[in-house]
Amino acid sequence: MHIDILSLFPEVFEPMLSTSIIGRARDNGLLTVACTNYRDYTHDVHRTVDDKPYGGGPGMVLKCEPVFAAVRDVESRAAVPPLRILLTPQGRRLDQPLVKELAAAQTLLLICGHYEGFDERIRLGLKPLEVSIGDYVLSGGEAAAMVLVDTVTRLLPGALGAEESVEEESFTDGLLEYPQYTRPAEFEGMRVPDVLVSGHHAEVARWRAEQRRLRTRERRPDLPAARQDG
Ligand code: ADE
- The pLDDT confidence band at residue 229, using thresholds 50, 70 and 90, is low
Residue with the smallest CA separation from ligand 1 atom 10 is 88
142-153 and 20-27 are packed helices; what angle lies between their axes, rounded to 10 degrees?
Answer: 60
77-103 confidence digits (pLDDT tens): 999 999 999 999 999 999 999 999 999
Pairing of strands 83-93, 129-132: parallel
- Average pLDDT of span 128-152: 97
Strand order in the sheet with 117-118: 50-51, 61-62, 117-118
Residue with the smallest CA separation from ligand 1 atom 7 is 132
Average pLDDT, the chain: 95
Alpha carbon distance 90, 82 (integer Å): 21
- The pLDDT confidence band at residue 210, using thresholds 50, 70 and 90, is very high
Name all domains of the chain by residue range, CATH numbers in brackets. Answer: 2-154 (3.40.1280.10), 169-227 (1.10.1270.20)
Residue 115 has pLDDT above 90, yes or no: no
C-alpha 48 – ligand 1 centre gap (Å): 23
| 139 CA: nearest ligand 1 atom | 2
Alpha carbon distance 146, 12 (integer Å): 9
Tell me, what's the pLDDT at 114? 84
The residues lining ligand 1, judged by C-beta closer than 6 Å to any ligand atom, are 87-89, 132-134, 136-138, 141, 144
**Which of 92, 132, 142 is the pocket-test mutation for ligand 1 (most atoms within 8 Å of CB)?**
132
* Residue 188, amino acid: E
| 135 CA: nearest ligand 1 atom | 6
In contact, 109 and 82? CB cutoff 8 Å:
yes
SS (H, E, C) the chain: CEEEEEECCHHHCHHHHCCHHHHHHHHCCCCEEEEEEHHHHCCCCCCCCEECCCCCCCCCEECHHHHHHHHHHHHHCCCCCCEEEEEEEEEEECCHHHHHHHHCCCEEEEECCCCCEECHHHHHHHCCEEEECCCCCCCCCHHHHHHHHHHHHCCCCCCCCHHHCCCCCCCCCCCCCCCCCCCCCEECCEECCHHHHCCCHHHHHHHHHHHHHHHHHHHCCCCHHHHCCC
CA angle 28, 30, 36 (to 5 degrees): 105
- Average pLDDT of span 7-32: 97
Residue with the smallest CA separation from ligand 1 atom 4 is 89
Tell me, what's the pLDDT at 230? 57
- The pLDDT confidence band at residue 168, using thresholds 50, 70 and 90, is low
